[in-house]
């Protein structure tokens, strides 16, 4: 995934507030009963540490010769992350992901396969071309729906299509985003309508404070998201937005990382806390639910990016605050790890078809493999720079 955006530079911040969540209170229900989610699901369910990321991390730990570092690496496998359904071929693997899942845990999934995906960048261009909305509906969303229905006794949190609608707000000058626009809107609305199941909660991606947080983007951004939410029939299981997905902004930091930069005065959302508040208010005005989950997976270290919009394998990053529903902010359901730390953001090989120039910038770790592929050196760096230490 990749976002790029047009407005000037600035930013967000650090704040390693409430760290390790105490395990949440669990519903002592039998797994034999169907789940009905209401309210903030993260207060009654623990986030699930899935076996896909576990296998990636176990292999990574085995490749580290220093026993202390290897043991620390292994501990990352117990930290819950989201599993990205980034192509149709992932869907048949999902039953294995939820096998023997404890009844008191909620599984995080990212729905990420829109036609013409990643319209403002190249690193995460997907498998479906513009115009294949029917394929998206019948071969991607419908099978995901069947899977969720077949697992009605398990709770799921879905992040819907990172970057897609934000790109329509700020990158619509690009031909690729113009071509993708109607498919994005109809595809996201279809996903929200069809996946609106009792055992599911949904969050629509809203970029981050350095993207839709610019004064001029707040209202258009809120209206873009809200109109798709309405087109989906205002689904009951929809809670609001995901922010900072695969991002680098601090939750709370004053001044924000780019607050005192040249253009800083044109954006009040200098950390994700302020973004959730200010953009959330705009969403309420536009008539959309505005609870949030915030990705803190890789935001431990600030001051690494040359510009706020740099997004690719930022060099020097560290694992951030662990998933928790103790956010200290009533609008934030949970801090979560949506981007699985150690999976690349994009290749630095300039001869690759999906090479994006952001992955060749001086602040991007190089060399780096294709988006989604395992990046051992980057994983070890995230571990070494983690706050809190792992």
Footprint on this chain of ligand BGC (rule: CB under 6 A): 1, 84, 86, 124, 339-340, 343, 345, 371-372
Q: Which is nearer to ligand BGC, 124 or 217 (CB)?
A: 124
Beta carbons within 10 angstroms of residue 312's beta carbon: 27
Interhelix angle 376-384/51-62, rounded to 10 degrees, is: 90
Q: Which is nearer to ligand BGC, 107 or 288 (CB)?
A: 107
Residue nearest to ligand BGC (CB): 372
> Residue 96 annotated as binding?
no
CA dihedral 143→334→258→121, nearest 10 degrees, is -10
Separation between Cα atoms, residue 377 and residue 74, nearest integer Å: 15
CB 214 within 8 A of CB 263: no
Q: Which is nearer to ligand BGC, 84 or 251 (CB)?
A: 84
Whole-number minimum distance, CB 167 to ligand BGC, in Å?
Answer: 14
Whole-number minimum distance, CB 3 to ligand BGC, in Å?
Answer: 10
Separation between Cα atoms, residue 313 and residue 281, nearest integer Å: 31
Which residues form the catalytic set? 118, 163, 345
Separation between Cα atoms, residue 147 and residue 107, nearest integer Å: 13
> Residue 208 annotated as binding?
yes
> Residue 374 annotated as binding?
no
Separation between Cα atoms, residue 194 and residue 146, nearest integer Å: 10
* CB contact burial 11-25 (16+ within 10 A = b; e otherwise): bbbbbbbbeebeebe
Q: Which is nearer to ligand BGC, 119 or 371 (CB)?
A: 371
Whole-number minimum distance, CB 85 to ligand BGC, in Å?
Answer: 8
Separation between Cα atoms, residue 247 and residue 260, nearest integer Å: 20
Q: Per the structure block, which two tokens stand in for 31?
A: 């797994």
DSSP string for 266-288 = GBS--SHHHHHHHHHHHHHHHT-
> Residue 58 annotated as binding?
no
Q: Which is nearer to ligand BGC, 123 or 292 (CB)?
A: 123
Whole-number minimum distance, CB 71 to ligand BGC, in Å?
Answer: 24
Closest CA to 169 of 199, 200, 207: 207
Alpha-carbon separation of residue 315 from 101, 240, 258, 330 (angstroms) = 35, 31, 17, 32
Q: Per the structure block, which two tokens stand in for 206?
A: 């809203």
> Residue 311 annotated as binding?
yes
Sign of the CA dihedral 368, 369, 372, 375?
negative
Q: Which is nearer to ligand BGC, 136 or 229 (CB)?
A: 136
CB 340 within 8 A of CB 112: no
Residues making up the annotated binding site are 84, 86, 208, 211, 311, 339, 343
Residues making up the annotated binding site for substrate are 84, 86, 208, 211, 311, 339, 343
């Amino acid at each position: 995934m990749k976002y790029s955006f047009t407005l000037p530079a600035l930013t967000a911040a650090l704040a390693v507030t409430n760290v390790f969540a105490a395990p949440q209170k669990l519903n002592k229900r039998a797994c034999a009963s169907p789940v009905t989610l209401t309210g903030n699901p993260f207060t009654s369910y623990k986030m699930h540490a899935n076996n896909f990321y576990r296998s990636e991390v176990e292999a990574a730990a085995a490749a580290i010769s220093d026993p202390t570092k290897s043991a620390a690496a292994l501990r990352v496998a117990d930290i819950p992350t989201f599993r990205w359904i980034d192509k149709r071929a992932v869907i048949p693997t999902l039953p294995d992901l939820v096998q023997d899942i404890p009844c008191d845990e909620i599984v995080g999934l990212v729905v990420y396969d829109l036609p013409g995906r990643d319209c403002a960048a190249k690193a995460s261009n997907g498998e479906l071309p513009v115009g294949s909305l029917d394929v998206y509906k019948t071969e991607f969303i419908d099978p995901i729906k069947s899977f969720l229905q077949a697992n009605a006794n398990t709770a799921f949190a879905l992040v819907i299509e990172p970057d897609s609608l934000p790109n329509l707000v700020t990158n619509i000058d690009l031909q690729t985003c113009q071509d993708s626009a109607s498919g994005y809107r109809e595809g996201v609305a279809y996903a929200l309508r069809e996946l609106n199941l009792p055992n599911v909660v949904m969050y629509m991606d809203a970029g981050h404070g350095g993207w839709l947080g610019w004064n001029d983007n707040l209202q258009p951004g809120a209206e873009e998201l809200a109109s798709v939410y309405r087109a989906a029939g205002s689904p009951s299981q929809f809670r609001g937005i995901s922010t900072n997905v695969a991002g680098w902004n601090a939750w709370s930091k004053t001044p924000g990382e780019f607050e005192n930069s040249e253009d800083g005065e044109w954006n009040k959302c200098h950390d994700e806390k302020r973004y959730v508040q200010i953009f959330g208010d705009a969403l309420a005005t536009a008539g959309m639910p505005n609870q949030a989950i915030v990705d803190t997976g890789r935001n431990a270290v600030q001051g690494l990016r040359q510009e706020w919009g740099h997004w690719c394998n930022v060099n020097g990053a560290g694992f951030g605050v662990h998933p928790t529903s103790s956010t200290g902010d009533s609008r934030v359901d949970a801090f979560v790890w949506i981007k699985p730390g150690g999976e690349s953001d994009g290749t630095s090989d300039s001869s690759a078809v999906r090479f994006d120039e952001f992955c060749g910038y001086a602040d991007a770790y190089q060399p780096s493999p294709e988006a989604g592929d395992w990046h051992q050196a980057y994983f070890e760096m995230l571990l070494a720079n983690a706050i809190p230490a792992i």
